[in-house]
């Protein structure tokens, strides 16, 4: 059975094996360049070849550091802040390469994306900051609304009549209780516009693996926590979300008390 834990473990394994392939590639190119520089008797060409060989060796070492880092923090809820910036930026960069490679080699992309979101959330949680509720933006995909609902919530979630046929009712109530901002996005561009317009200090984004990894890597300078949506009817229709998970994040990042729900 494909539980979220199983998918995560699969993502970790795929990440490590793909990272190893990329490492071999970088190491191979570095050794070819070094061998070439020894066989050519021209100073300028030698310098250029050695610079590229050094860059490839650096990339290979960075990759090894990134894999060790991933294995180290995988089971942790938070990590030492001193390790955050250098390691998280190299991890994100390399993971983008690995996701692209997984598409080419026909690996299970969603498991790697799942792993990416998991690791991203550990990094964001490790910032250990508190935010005012009005500076937190909860971004939802429009497929979370019941497909037969006639009220349009994409511009104003307050249009929801709280009938309880979808999870929007609970989210409107959560918004009223906590004071966070909530936007329902119709796609990637609309989600980015919502971030630009609201200027939040923290984004909690709900979406599928593909949209979340895209959003996390596209939003710059603002931490984004990813929450995977539930898809009991398949993708993009009548999806849902674990409200308890959102409440837990609000509890961790604000002075909001989830026991008051
Ligand atoms: S809870 Fe709100 S958004 Fe969902 S179906 Fe009812 S009225 Fe529509």
Lowest mean pLDDT among 13-17, 31-35, 44-48, 94-98: 94-98
Percent of the chain with pLDDT over 90: 48
Is residue 52 lining ligand 1, measured as CB closer than 6 Å? no
Supply the pLDDT for residue 259: 46
Is residue 168 lining ligand 1, measured as CB closer than 6 Å? yes
Distance CA 209, CA 195 (A): 19
Is residue 158 lining ligand 1, measured as CB closer than 6 Å? no
Average pLDDT across the chain, whole number? 87
Tell me the average pLDDT across 90-100. Answer: 74
Backbone φ, ψ for residue 201 (5° rounding): -95, -20
Q: At a CB cut-off of 8 Å and minimum separation 6, what does 29 contact?
A: 56
- Ligand 1 centroid from CA 210, angstroms: 25
Contact 70, 112 (CB under 8 A): no
Is residue 144 lining ligand 1, measured as CB closer than 6 Å? no
Region of 136 on the Ramachandran plot (φ > 0 left; ψ -120 to 50 alpha; else beta): beta
Other CB atoms within a 10 A radius of the CB of residue 147 amount to: 13
Of residues 90 and 240, the one with the higher pLDDT is 240
Other CB atoms within a 10 A radius of the CB of residue 49 amount to: 20
pTM: 0.83
Distance CA 97, CA 60 (A): 13
- Ligand 1 centroid from CA 97, angstroms: 40
Nearest residue (CA) to ligand 1, atom 3? 160
Nearest residue (CA) to ligand 1, atom 4? 166
C-alpha 83, offset from chain centre: 18
Is residue 88's pLDDT more than 90?
A: no
Q: Where are the domains of the chain?
A: 4-125, 133-260
**CATH 1.25.40 is held by the domain 133-260:** no
Is residue 163 lining ligand 1, measured as CB closer than 6 Å? yes
Lowest mean pLDDT among 102-106, 112-116, 148-152, 218-222: 102-106
Cα–Cα separations (whole angstroms), residue 201 to 2, 78, 182: 34, 19, 13
Work out the pLDDT band at 177, boundaries 50, 70, 90.
very high
Contact 144, 168 (CB under 8 A): yes
Work out the pLDDT band at 261, boundaries 50, 70, 90.
very low
User: What does the pLDDT look like over 124-148, one tens digit per residue?
Assistant: 888 778 999 999 999 999 999 999 9
Helical segments of the chain, H only: 4-39, 43-73, 84-104, 109-125, 168-178, 188-198, 209-218, 243-253
- Ligand 1 centroid from CA 144, angstroms: 10
Nearest residue (CA) to ligand 1, atom 6? 163
Cα–Cα separations (whole angstroms), residue 53 to 36, 38, 59, 93: 10, 12, 10, 20
- Ligand 1 centroid from CA 161, angstroms: 6
- Ligand 1 centroid from CA 141, angstroms: 14
- Ligand 1 centroid from CA 160, angstroms: 5
Supply the pLDDT for residue 64: 85
Tell me the average pLDDT across 68-97. Answer: 72
Distance CA 85, CA 208 (A): 26
Tell me the average pLDDT across 73-84. Answer: 70
- Ligand 1 centroid from CA 170, angstroms: 10
Contact 53, 37 (CB under 8 A): yes
Nearest residue (CA) to ligand 1, atom 8? 149
Work out the pLDDT band at 85, boundaries 50, 70, 90.
low
């Amino acid at each position: 059975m494909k539980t979220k834990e199983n998918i995560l473990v699969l993502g970790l394994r795929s990440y490590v094996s793909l990272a190893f392939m990329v490492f071999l590639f970088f190491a191979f190119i570095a050794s070819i360049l070094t061998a070439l520089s020894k066989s050519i008797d021209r100073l300028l060409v030698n310098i250029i070849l050695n610079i590229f060989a050094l860059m490839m060796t650096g990339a290979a070492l960075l990759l090894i550091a990134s894999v060790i880092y991933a294995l180290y923090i995988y089971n942790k809820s938070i990590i030492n802040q001193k390790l955050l910036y250098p390691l998280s930026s190299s991890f994100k960069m390399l993971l983008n390469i690995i996701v692209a490679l997984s598409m080419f080699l026909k690996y299970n992309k969603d498991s790697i994306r799942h792993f990416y979101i998991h690791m991203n959330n550990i990094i964001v949680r490790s910032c250990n900051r508190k935010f005012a509720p009005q500076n937190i933006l909860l971004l939802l995909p429009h497929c979370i609304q019941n497909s037969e609902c006639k009220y349009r919530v994409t511009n104003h979630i307050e249009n929801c009549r709280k009938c309880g046929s979808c999870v929007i009712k609970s989210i409107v109530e959560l918004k009223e209780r906590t004071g966070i901002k909530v936007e329902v996005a119709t796609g990637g561009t609309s989600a980015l516009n919502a971030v630009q317009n609201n200027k939040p200090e923290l984004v909690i984004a709900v979406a599928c693996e593909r949209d979340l990894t895209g959003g996390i890597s596209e939003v710059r300078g603002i931490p984004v926590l990813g929450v995977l949506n539930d898809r009991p009817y398949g993708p993009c229709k009548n999806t849902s979300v674990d409200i308890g998970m959102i409440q837990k994040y609000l509890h961790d990042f604000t002075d909001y008390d989830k026991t008051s729900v």
